[in-house]
């Protein structure tokens, strides 16, 4: 059922990355302040202070980013292009992820 769903390739556009950097670092929005603080603290040149990486993230930064992405979902979606699968869309990917996250596979029938 979901065999094709495991091979997705998304591309973050230059415009999307620029907009994120603008809002996180250059002209931060108040809602992203915890994420900005974690990012700047992680890349201060001091060893062992990483709180904003793909492996480790400060809880406050994670919460701020999740809230921001949720509140700006339609805009955030424009930052990405689906490279693979060829006929893939972000809507299809999101539906597949909801199916995979279902606690009870009977919920899949309702999605």
pLDDT tens per residue across span 47-95 = 777 788 888 899 999 999 999 999 999 999 999 999 999 889 999 998 8
Is the pTM for the entire model greater than 0.75? no
Assign residue 102 a region (left: φ > 0; alpha: ψ between -120 and 50; beta: otherwise): beta
């Amino acid at each position: 059922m979901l065999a094709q769903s495991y091979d997705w390739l998304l591309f973050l556009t230059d415009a999307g990355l620029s907009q994120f950097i603008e809002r996180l670092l250059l002209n931060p929005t108040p809602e992203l302040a915890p994420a900005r603080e974690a990012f700047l603290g992680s890349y201060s040149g001091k060893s062992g202070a990483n709180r904003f990486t793909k492996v480790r993230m400060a809880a406050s930064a994670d919460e701020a980013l999740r809230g921001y992405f949720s509140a700006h979902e339609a805009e955030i979606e424009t930052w990405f292009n689906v490279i693979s699968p060829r006929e893939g869309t972000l809507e299809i990917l999101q539906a597949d992820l909801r199916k995979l996250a279902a606690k009870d596979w009977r919920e899949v029938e309702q999605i």
